[in-house]
């Protein structure tokens, strides 16, 4: 093991990728476990890449969100004369979404949606901070052992995209081809909606077990992202319990996220997250209704624009699922006809681009006039947060955008002021596209429900009904009374008033806290009590007769095993009441009693019992002396137990031979 930057003690390697290795490490300064990602030397030789990597790592460190793996530190270390960048991150124990899918197979749409809602929350936070992930894929989504979802590797993909070396550019395509947005495949700038597209690909793979596009090379896959429509995911889901409505919903959410043109996708990660939440709860996604409305409008019009192609194609794919084919309805028939016509239009547009537009992935404005989706007609959405809705509406309309207004309660933004826009500020949109203003309606109060005993999933549902949100950062604590996975406490407390939209934080039980019971044999009872109580146990003494000194520990129940903290531990303690019975044979009764006292016997005089049964002796010198005892010499004796002594009695017949003695006794 080596010490990095005189602070991070590197341990075993816990992961590796195409461009980096990840090591378990310990921060010796703060005493916490961390993970250290170090670039491989062949990736670190590009000066421009190292600079971009450093800058992006610093940006990532600014992100503070419970669903984003925290970046604590960044720097460079000298490796064989080469400056190798590294990033220090929080250590996460769990599995990646890639591992989950490999082990468990395809997920149900509801489960997949539940896992990706926190990813949307993380992406929305990063987008608002001006950071685009650019490498969303199952391997960068971690599910911890407690069920929390964490997004990894923020900023790395941006550094890859912006690097100038051929090696780095190739790595960027190979590493992300299965989840590459069309605009990235064309070499255009990525924005927040590029991450939305990638997340749509992840959702597709999560529910079907297959990526939307496959090819013999990364470039063949990238080509399909640009030119081909993905098959509806429901067509690849072999689940007879999935009804037609559920199939339409998963198709709508997935294919909206994967629309070819950014303007046809969800315009923010938050918007996609809202539909995923509905999908997780078994409710209809808004995108499903929107696609059906768009399709019906298109079927009544003879003028089909290329702008409508992505939306119509998505809805048609949703309607073409096996479940939908079993029960055809008029809208589906119309959509099929529209789709057939649009395929011809799309083929013509593709041919025009290939012949006159400079070919795949390349544009030449000098030889081709802008298509309707050309970026020449796009403008950046201005930041109008904090303005009144009237001021914001006027500013957006002057730029040529359509404006819709939605209200949302807020305890931080004054009533009638703009909280945010959808799409977010800075997004490039076509003139005429609708921008939604989210304006504050002021504070609306609601009563916080009692979440005790619920699971986080149940709590989320209860809070949704109350107009509140669950803080995605779920704390954990042990509990003897609350089962593992259930909520112990919450903040704000049940019954308190809170603003609608506020977050409620919860602490979930990890079950009883366990500690190992130590072996304290030979210690004093006082020492054993102090040790056990310091570990959180409740010691109880069980006194036993023993030759050991009084208050000396004989044994500890469950020593060496783990037990719940707070539980009772039985300690067997010596009462010091056992002695070895001394030999007092041929002592007179008084001397015999003194010998017993000297050996530690504490019985009363009445406990020194002389048996009326006196054994005979032919030795006159033994008359009146102790012949034997009960207990016998050497046996264990309680200090307060009675002792019976047998006193010899001189008898003449004991002098006779044994045969004569027997005759005399018989006569």
Catalytic residue flag (residue 414): no
Closest CA to 430 of 192, 223, 267: 267
Report the alpha-carbon distance of residue 592 to residue 595 in Å, rounded: 5
Q: For residue 33, what are its two tokens?
A: 């476990």
CA distance 461 to 467: 10
- Which two three-digit tokens encode residue 440? 């504050």
Residue 79 φ/ψ, nearest 5 degrees: -125, 105
In whole angstroms, what is the distance from residue 76 CA to residue 609 CA?
90
Place of tokens 């250290």: 36
CA distance 108 to 246: 10
Q: What is the dihedral of CA 318, 322, 326, 329, to 10 degrees?
A: 10
Q: Six-digit token pair at 31?
A: 């005493």
Secondary structure in 3-state letters for 497-523: EEECCCEEEEEEECCCCEEECCCCCCC
Return the CA Rg of the chain.
41
Q: Which of 73, 78, 104, 135 is catalytic?
A: 135
CA distance 140 to 237: 24
**Phi and psi (nearest 5°) for 626?**
-70, 120
Q: Is 37 a known ligand-binding residue?
A: yes
Residue that is written with structure tokens 């310091």 in the block: 534
Q: Where are the beta strands (DSSP E) in 120-214?
A: 141-144, 149-151
Please give the positions annotated as active site: 135
**Which amino acids are annotated as binding site, given as ranges?**
37
**Which amino acids are annotated as binding site for ATP, given as ranges?**
37
């Amino acid at each position: 093991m080596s010490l990095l930057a005189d602070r991070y003690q590197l341990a075993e390697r816990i992961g590796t990728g195409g461009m980096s290795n990840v090591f378990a490490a310990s921060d010796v300064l703060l005493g916490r476990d961390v993970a250290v990602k170090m670039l491989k030397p062949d990736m670190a030789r590009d000066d421009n890449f190292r600079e971009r990597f450093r800058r992006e790592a610093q940006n990532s460190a600014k992100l503070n969100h419970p669903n984003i793996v925290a970046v604590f530190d960044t720097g460079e270390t000298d490796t064989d004369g080469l400056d190798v960048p590294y990033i220090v991150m929080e250590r996460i124990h769990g599995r990646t979404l890639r591992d989950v899918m490999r082990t468990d197979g395809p997920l149900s749409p509801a489960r997949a949606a539940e896992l990706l809602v926190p990813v949307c929350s993380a992406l929305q936070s990063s987008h608002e901070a001006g950071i685009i992930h650019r490498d969303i894929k199952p391997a960068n989504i971690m599910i911890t052992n407690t069920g929390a979802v964490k997004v990894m590797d923020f900023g790395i993909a941006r550094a890859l995209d912006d690097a100038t070396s051929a090696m780095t550019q190739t790595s960027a395509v190979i590493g992300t081809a299965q989840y590459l947005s069309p605009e990235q495949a064309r070499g255009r700038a990525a924005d927040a909606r590029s991450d939305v597209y990638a997340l749509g690909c992840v959702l597709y793979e999560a529910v079907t077990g297959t990526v939307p596009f496959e090819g013999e090379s990364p470039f063949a896959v990238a080509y399909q992202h640009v030119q081909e429509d993905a098959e509806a995911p429901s067509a690849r889901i072999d689940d007879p319990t999935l009804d037609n409505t559920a199939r339409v919903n998963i198709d709508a959410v997935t294919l909206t996220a994967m629309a070819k043109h950014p303007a046809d996708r969800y315009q923010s990660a938050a918007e996609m997250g809202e539909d995923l939440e509905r999908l997780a709860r078994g409710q209809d996604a808004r995108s499903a209704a929107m696609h059906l409305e768009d399709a019906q409008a298109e079927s009544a019009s003879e003028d089909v624009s290329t702008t409508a192609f992505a939306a119509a194609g998505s809805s048609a794919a949703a309607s073409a699922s096996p479940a939908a084919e079993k029960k055809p309805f008029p809208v589906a028939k119309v959509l099929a006809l529209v789709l057939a016509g649009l395929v011809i239009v799309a083929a013509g547009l593709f041919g025009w681009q290939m012949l006159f537009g400079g070919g795949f992935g390349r544009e030449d404005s000098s030889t081709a006039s802008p298509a309707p989706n050309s970026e020449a007609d796009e403008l950046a959405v201005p930041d109008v947060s904090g303005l009144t809705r009237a001021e914001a509406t006027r500013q957006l309309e002057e730029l040529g955008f359509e404006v819709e207004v939605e209200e949302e309660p807020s305890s931080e933004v004054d009533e009638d002021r703009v909280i945010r826009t959808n799409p977010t500020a800075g997004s490039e949109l076509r003139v005429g596209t609708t921008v939604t203003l989210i304006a504050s309606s002021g504070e609306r109060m609601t009563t916080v429900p009692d979440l005790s005993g619920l699971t986080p999933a149940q709590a989320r549902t209860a809070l949704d009904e109350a107009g509140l949100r669950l803080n995605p950062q779920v704390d954990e604590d042990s509990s003897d009374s609350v089962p593992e996975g259930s909520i112990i406490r919450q903040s704000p407390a049940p019954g308190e008033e809170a603003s609608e939209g506020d977050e409620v934080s919860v602490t979930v039980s990890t079950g009883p806290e366990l500690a190992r019971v130590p072996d304290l044999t030979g210690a004093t009872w006082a020492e054993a009590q102090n040790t056990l109580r310091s570990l959180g146990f409740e010691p109880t003494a069980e006194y036993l007769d023993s030759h050991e000194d009084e208050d000396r520990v004989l044994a500890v129940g469950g020593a060496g095993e783990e037990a719940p903290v707070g539980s009772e531990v039985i300690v067997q303690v010596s009462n010091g009441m056992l002695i070895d019975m001394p030999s007092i044979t041929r002592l007179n009764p008084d001397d015999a009693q003194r010998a017993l006292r000297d050996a530690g016997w504490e019985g009363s005089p009445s406990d020194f019992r002389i048996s009326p049964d006196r054994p005979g002796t032919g030795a006159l010198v033994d008359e009146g002396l102790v012949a034997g005892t009960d207990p016998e010499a050497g046996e264990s004796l309680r200090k307060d137990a009675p002792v019976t002594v047998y006193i010899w009695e001189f008898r003449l017949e004991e002098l006779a031979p044994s045969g004569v003695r027997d005759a005399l006794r018989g006569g």
